[in-house]
Amino acid sequence: MGRPPCCDKISVKKGPWTPEEDIILVSYIQQNGPGNWRAIPTSTGLLRCSKSCRLRWTNYLRPGIKRGSFTEHEEKMIIHLQALLGNRWAAIASYLPERTDNDIKNYWNTHLKKKLAKLGGHEHGITSSRHQSITKGQWERRLQTNIHQAKQALSDALSLDKSDNTNSSKKSSETIPVVQNSATYASSTENIARLLENWTKKSPNSSSQSTTTTTYSTSFNNSISSPSDGAISTTPEAILDNQMPLSLLEKWLLDDAVVQGQDGDFMDMGLMGETTADFRTILQF
Q: Which residues bind DNA (CB under 7 A)?
A: 2-4, 6, 13-17, 35-39, 48-52, 54-56, 58-60, 67-68, 87-91, 101-103, 105-107, 109-111, 132, 136, 177, 179-183, 186, 210-212
Task: Please state the closest distance from residue 227 (CB atom) to DNA, in A.
Answer: 27
Return the biggest CA–CA distance within the chain: 59
Task: Please state the closest distance from residue 56 (CB atom) to DNA, in A.
Answer: 5
Nearer to DNA, 78 or 259 (CB): 78
Alpha carbon distance 85, 259 (integer Å) = 20
Nearer to DNA, 209 or 259 (CB): 209
Q: Give the residue from 280, 282, 275, 253 showing the smallest Cα distance to 137.
A: 275
Nearer to DNA, 17 or 153 (CB): 17
Alpha carbon distance 285, 281 (integer Å) = 6
How many Å is the Cα radius of gyration of the chain? 20
Nearer to DNA, 48 or 124 (CB): 48
In whole angstroms, what separates CA 85 from the centre of its chain? 12
DSSP string of 159-173? HHHHHHGGGHHHHHH
Task: Please state the closest distance from residue 173 (CB atom) to DNA, in A.
Answer: 15
Burial class (CB in 10 A: 0-12, 13-18, 19+), 122: middle
Nearer to DNA, 57 or 253 (CB): 57
Task: Please state the closest distance from residue 225 (CB atom) to DNA, in A.
Answer: 24
Task: Please state the closest distance from residue 29 (CB atom) to DNA, in A.
Answer: 12
